[in-house]
Structure 1
Amino acid sequence: MSKILMKGNEAVAEAAIRAGCRLYFAYPITPQSELIEYMAKMMPKVGGTFIQAESEIAAINMVYGAAGVGKRVMTSSSSPGISLKQEGISYMAGAELPAVIVNVQRGGPGLGDIQPAQGDYFQAVKGGGHGDYQLIVLAPSSVQEFADLAADAFDLADKYRNPVMILADGMLGQMMEPVEFKPAKTQEELDALANQHLSWCICPNADGDAKHHHEINSLELDPEILEKKVSKLYEKYAEVEKNEVRYETYNLSDDNEILCVAWGTAARVVKSAINELVAQGKSIGLVRPITCWPYPYEAIASAIGPKVKKVYVFELNSGQMVEDVMIAVNGKVPVDFWGKLGGIVFTPADIQAKLEACF
């Protein structure tokens, strides 16, 4: 299949449709507006349903309902819109409902601006809503990966009956790159997807022996029962941590003197700086988390070779993922951080200067 030049926002929408998403509910907000526009145009063509909800709160509750009947469903927004969805996301995690949520981040806090940023890391991986729960959080760094992870997100959501967030940013949503899509699901595969949740989802009651009643609910007023329910959730999360950690390594070797950690599009800038320094004879490696949760703690710990004298974290925020890096490093070597705020994206020259100062 030939590659197609597409914006990230459009590519993730097309990939979701090919993965079997037939229900999409959202409210417009930049810098992800092309995603909702693409879905408005394409969903009717594949027999799907697109609804521009009256608000982000309405949209996430529409997702709750669609997920409750076992359908592949997606919503998307940008930072302040995701904040409005948090109550519904917590409800969905508590009710163990599979769905995909795309966050194309912008500068914050508050309304901020529409420039790319990575300030929503804490919100995504530490639980932005109330209560004890986890999202599976995927962080792409290219348009191709944005599309690939969209397909994977639906599979992960179904496998673990859990909401999955794709944590992108305005730069990735707006940039255009060649992308090759996975084959679209066949009708037979779509039918199988529709049947995989029949053991728990809301569906028409049948007569006789097949009659059943499934309840979708996150409310439990008995504290002892709720404790058992949440403990069971965390047993599931432990399985996710065991099986689903994803990361990329770049230029890792036993000769590395500096280990960099960065995620999303920020990691691409760091790679460019590493390439310049490698050409000058420096040895620097990179670990890029692809799953921000579950986090690749062991991969970072094992990447600290015998010559590494510092781990340097780069993010487009005030220092959020750096806390997870410090847990992974566990005091073996110093951890330094540098980031840019307000939607400003650092350059390879910026990163290069910071790294050169370490030698």
Structure 2
Amino acid sequence: MAKILMKGNEAFGKAAIEAGCHYFFGYPITPQSELPEYLSRELPKVGGAFVQAESEVAAINMVYGAGGTGTRVMTSSSSPGVALKQEGITYCAGAEVPCVILNIMRGGPGLGTIQPSQADYYMSTKGGGNGDYRTPVFAPASVQEAVDMIIEAFDVADIYRTPVMVVADGMIGQMMEPVDFDKERRTRELPEKTWAANGTKGERIPNVINSLYLQSEELEQHNLKLEKKYQTIEENEVQYEMYHTEDAELVFVAYGTVSRIVKTTVDQMREEGHKVGLIRPKTLWPFPDKAFAEIPNAKNLLVVEMSLGQMIDDVKLACECKLPVDFYGRSGGMVPSPAEIANKAKEIIGGAK
């Protein structure tokens, strides 16, 4: 198939179907409503089902039930809607139910604005629900990556029996770009779902999907089992991009749409003779700590986000506070320009002399 021009939200939906997702439960909210609209039309064509739930809370609990049968299942929303899903997400993590949750982020707090934002970093990477759990988090920077990462998210969910989040700001959801659905992708060996509650057929003891452990000793063992799984994910699933970092003395750190803007800044500043580069996390968790060992000439780090600064903590931990970490961000749906970012970088470079 040749490349086709698609809006990000619709590309997310087509990618989910390509990944074998037959069930979607969700609720309309801007700026991701084109995704459920697309799936409501296309899922029945492949024998699947689309359910518009009565609320975000209902949608994630439907995901819990359907995912517990071993089928590939998905939900999507935007920032305040994903906040409502947090209880269900931690239930899925505790019960080890694989599923994919897509967040097309908008400005907040509260209802905020429908404009693009990255202010859900904490909620996505630190766990918005209760208990000791983590969720892998993919962060695409283009519509093509939106497709690739949704497909990979379903594989990661099945391999590790875990909810997986994909986060993209509203700009990626709304933009149109050419997408190749036939490109070669990583082949993953998927485990048999012997744990699924999908009917015994009189051949085995019923499987139980549950996150309730009344005995403290039993729950501690379950938590330790989950922690071991998260450690394996940290070892195997980190993804990042290095852009002109070989000789960079100032290294930007940015993800998603902002990383595209920062690349323009890097190119323009390099034309002016400045040694700058970019670390782009493709996975927000696990965070690419190892990338910060690959910038031997760096004297400064500059985090750029569409928020008031949420990734800074992870960057400071990753560099073990050995480098000064500065920040430039816009919030409330405002998008930084290459010139604004360059001005901030030049202030830092001047101050470092």
TM category (shorter chain) comes to over 0.9
Residue number in structure 1 paired with 2:133: 133
Deviation at 1:304, TM superposition (A): 3.0
Matched, 1:213 2:206: yes
Matched, 1:296 2:291: no
The CA deviation string for residues 256-276 of structure 1, in whole angstroms up to 9 with x for no partner, is 110110011111111111110
Residue number in structure 2 paired with 1:230: 223
Deviation at 1:174, TM superposition (A): 0.3
Match runs of 1:146-185 below 5 Å: 146-182=146-182
The unaligned stretches of length 5 or more in structure 1 are none
Alpha-carbon separation, structure 1, partners of 2:29 and 2:141: 21
Residue number in structure 1 paired with 2:243: 250
The CA deviation string for residues 182-223 of structure 1, in whole angstroms up to 9 with x for no partner, is 479xxxx9xx98x931x111022223xx22210000001101
Residue number in structure 2 paired with 1:104: 104
Instruction: Give the superposed CA RMSD.
Output: 1.7
For 1:116, give the aligned amino acid: P
Matched, 1:203 2:179: no
The CA deviation string for residues 78-124 of structure 1, in whole angstroms up to 9 with x for no partner, is 00000110000000000001000000000000000000000000001
Residue number in structure 2 paired with 1:24: 24
For 1:259, give the aligned amino acid: V
Deviation at 1:285, TM superposition (A): 1.1
Change (3 A) 1:183 1:24: farther
The CA deviation string for residues 6-63 of structure 1, in whole angstroms up to 9 with x for no partner, is 1110101101101100000100000000101100110011111000111001100110
Alpha-carbon separation, structure 1, partners of 2:326 and 2:263: 17
2:265 paired residue among 254, 258, 273: 273
Alpha-carbon separation, structure 1, partners of 2:321 and 2:89: 35
> Are 1:262 and 1:287, in contact at CA under 8 Å, matched by a contact in 2?
yes
> Are 1:144 and 1:179, in contact at CA under 8 Å, matched by a contact in 2?
yes
Identity %: 54
Size of the aligned set, in residue pairs, is 347
Residue number in structure 1 paired with 2:346: 356
Q: How does the TM-score come out when normalised to structure 2? A: 0.96
For 2:343, give the aligned amino acid: A
The CA deviation string for residues 277-326 of structure 1, in whole angstroms up to 9 with x for no partner, is 111111111110011001111112x13323x2211000111111110000
The CA deviation string for residues 155-199 of structure 1, in whole angstroms up to 9 with x for no partner, is 000000000000111010001111111479xxxx9xx98x931x1
For 1:333, give the aligned amino acid: L
Alpha-carbon separation, structure 1, partners of 2:20 and 2:212: 30
> Are 1:206 and 1:212, in contact at CA under 8 Å, matched by a contact in 2?
no
> Are 1:18 and 1:182, in contact at CA under 8 Å, matched by a contact in 2?
no
Alpha-carbon separation, structure 1, partners of 2:20 and 2:180: 17
Alpha-carbon separation, structure 2, partners of 1:130 and 1:248: 32
Deviation at 1:330, TM superposition (A): 1.4
Alpha-carbon separation, structure 2, partners of 1:220 and 1:60: 21
The unaligned stretches of length 5 or more in structure 2 are none
Residue number in structure 2 paired with 1:4: 4
SS of the residue 1:220 aligns to: coil
Alpha-carbon separation, structure 2, partners of 1:152 and 1:205: 30
Q: How does the TM-score come out when normalised to structure 1? A: 0.94
For 1:101, give the aligned amino acid: I
> Are 1:76 and 1:102, in contact at CA under 8 Å, matched by a contact in 2?
yes
1:282 paired residue among 261, 265, 274: 274
Residue number in structure 1 paired with 2:335: 345
Alpha-carbon separation, structure 2, partners of 1:161 and 1:268: 32
Q: Which runs of 4+ in 1 moved over 6 A?
A: none
For 1:106, give the aligned amino acid: R
> Are 2:141 and 2:257, in contact at CA under 8 Å, matched by a contact in 1?
yes
Match runs of 1:54-93 below 5 Å: 54-93=54-93
Alpha-carbon separation, structure 2, partners of 1:229 and 1:173: 37
Matched, 1:314 2:304: yes
